[in-house]
Amino acid sequence: MDLGDFFQRNKLLFKEYLEVRLELLKLQGVKLLSKSAGLFTWLMIVLFLVFFILLFLGMMFAWWIAELTQSNIAGFASAAGVFVVLLVICIVFRKKLFQQPIARLIIKETLDDEDEELG
């Protein structure tokens, strides 16, 4: 038996194997995409709520400082200053505070699924 005969006999089996493998890759891609979309949606909701919390806390702080100083300008300038400091801190520590934890979360979620499939 030569290689040509082997391929002729197993051509259909090999074709089915490739189709099943392609279908498996598609399903794994859909699973990863749906999990990522869920994580993204959760993250957007949390960020939306954090935005409003910071907005109202900033307004409350501004009015409180305005009441203490009897000057709206001083109150709102103080609140803006606090937000500028927070922005600078976020920019300086962006990798440690945001990029690395999010990357770890995505990797952990992806690897947990692979461990569940193997176990």
The span from the CA of 49 to the CA of 55, in Å, is 10
119 is written with which tokens? 């176990």
Given this model, what pLDDT does residue 29 score? 86
> Is the predicted pLDDT of residue 78 greater than 90, yes or no?
yes
Contact 20, 28 (CB under 8 A): no
**3-state secondary structure at position 18:** helix
Residue 108 backbone dihedrals phi, psi, to 5 degrees: -60, -45
> How does pLDDT run across 79-119, given as a tens digit for each residue?
999 999 999 998 999 899 888 888 888 788 777 755 555 54
Q: Which residue has the higher pLDDT, 74 or 43?
A: 74
State the pLDDT at residue 118: 55
Q: Is the pTM of this model over 0.85?
A: no
| CA dist 97 → 2, 59, 62, 92, 104 (Å) | 61, 25, 27, 9, 12
Per-chain mean pLDDT for the chain: 87
